[in-house]
Chains A and B, each alone.
Chain A
Amino acid sequence: MNIASSLAIVALAALIHASFQLSVSVLTLLGGHVIGAKHSQAKVLRLTTSFVFGAGVMTLLLLSFVSLVLLHAFDGNAPQIVWAIGCGLLLGIGVAVWMFYYRRTKGTSLWIPRPIASYLHERTKATTRSAEAFSLGLTSVIGELIFIIAPITISALVLIQLPPLWQLAGIAIYSIISLLSLMIVWVLIGSGHKLSRIQEWRESNKNFMQFAAGSGLIILSFYVYVVEVLGSAVGGV
């Protein structure tokens, strides 16, 4: 696989990551609490920026960690069985996202363990400092690990094949693109938009977001399977 194709896969995986909604939900809730507690707009911006920064750092660390583990295990050339497992993970989580991502209730409640959701909810209410918002950003990425592990694993498998400088570029591309949805909400909150409008949009489009995320994972799994598993089996593409 050439560098452009590899980075395109990383970018698509990051876009799929960006369509997952736990961090966006926590940011929306955090914005509501901070504005509702009569804090200044500067403090709203400071806390939401720290949150987005925390989510970005955890994404970067996770992708770097998985890449490092795979690099040590396979030395930049993962066997076909590992690619097949990665594709199976993408496909399985894609189908799971189609079926289960949002709970079948009002609102935007996600199919994540309720203790994690309650913990994030309580921590969001208690967050008043930038360091706490940063930690909340870190934790919210961990909270959706069950969904983001697939795009992160495939991106790591792709990245370890690249030269070191392109690996760094790939990690940066993934981290930035995966933050796009958070950045949009951050800009909307920072520019004074009503949270009710943001949450209404998220609620009314949640089925589309769910379909897009699931479809993205399934399409990526087929593409990677054809290029890396079938392509290698018939002599390399």
Chain B
Amino acid sequence: MGLAIDIVKRNGQRPSENFSQEKLHASILAACLSVRTPVGQAESIAHAVSDSVISWLETKPEVTSQDVRRIAAKHLRTHHPDAAYIYEQHRLTI
């Protein structure tokens, strides 16, 4: 599903793109699985967090990808702190 919201990529180095719920869902799911969460639980957490981010996005015409990550991490922390930590660290590891 592509909401009509422009996502400005990191540092503006790449062109903006439409928000993709699948992409967000996949990244949260991967974070949950990487901390050995069972698949079913990871799927439901990814759905819940994606829905929360979409609610937040509804009033905004344009956001940065870092904003989306920050809000997703905030919601993910309430469901699974370890997964939220890995999600936040993704770009800060190397």
A residues near B (Cβ < 8 Å) are: 22, 25-26, 28-29, 31-33, 35-38, 105-110, 112, 117, 120-121, 192, 194-197, 199-200, 203
Contacts of A109 in B (CB 8 A): 92-94
Q: 25 A–B contact pairs at CB < 8 A?
A: A25-B94, A26-B94, A29-B94, A31-B34, A33-B30, A33-B34, A35-B34, A35-B36, A36-B30, A36-B31, A38-B33, A105-B92, A107-B91, A107-B93, A108-B89, A108-B92, A109-B92, A120-B94, A194-B36, A195-B34, A196-B82, A197-B82, A199-B85, A199-B86, A203-B89
Contact A36–B94 (Cβ < 8 Å): no
Given A28-B93, A32-B34, A107-B93, answer yes or no on A38-B39 (Cβ-Cβ < 8 Å): yes
In the complex, number of A-B residue pairs with CB atoms less than 8 Å apart: 66
B83 touches A (CB below 8 Å): yes
Contact A22–B30 (Cβ < 8 Å): no
Contacts of B39 in A (CB 8 A): 38
Per the bound structure, the CA–CA distance linking A22 and B93 in Å amounts to 9
Task: List 18 extra interface pairs beyond A37-B33, A106-B92, A199-B93, CB under 8 A.
Answer: A22-B94, A25-B93, A32-B34, A32-B86, A33-B30, A35-B33, A36-B31, A36-B34, A38-B39, A108-B89, A109-B94, A112-B94, A121-B94, A196-B85, A196-B86, A199-B85, A199-B89, A203-B89
Interface residues on chain B, size class: 10 to 19
Given A26-B94, A105-B92, answer yes or no on A200-B36 (Cβ-Cβ < 8 Å): no
Distance in angstroms from B74 CB to nearest chain A CB is: 15
Per the bound structure, the CA–CA distance linking A138 and B86 in Å amounts to 25
B residues near A (Cβ < 8 Å) are: 29-31, 33-36, 39, 82-83, 85-86, 88-94
Which secondary structure dominates chain A's binding surface?
Answer: helix
Distance in angstroms from B10 CB to nearest chain A CB is: 10
Per the bound structure, the CA–CA distance linking A30 and B30 in Å amounts to 12
Per the bound structure, the CA–CA distance linking A112 and B94 in Å amounts to 9
The 8 Å CB contact of B92, one of A35, A37, A107, is A107
Per the bound structure, the CA–CA distance linking A106 and B15 in Å amounts to 26
Distance in angstroms from A33 CB to nearest chain B CB is: 7
Contacts of A117 in B (CB 8 A): 94
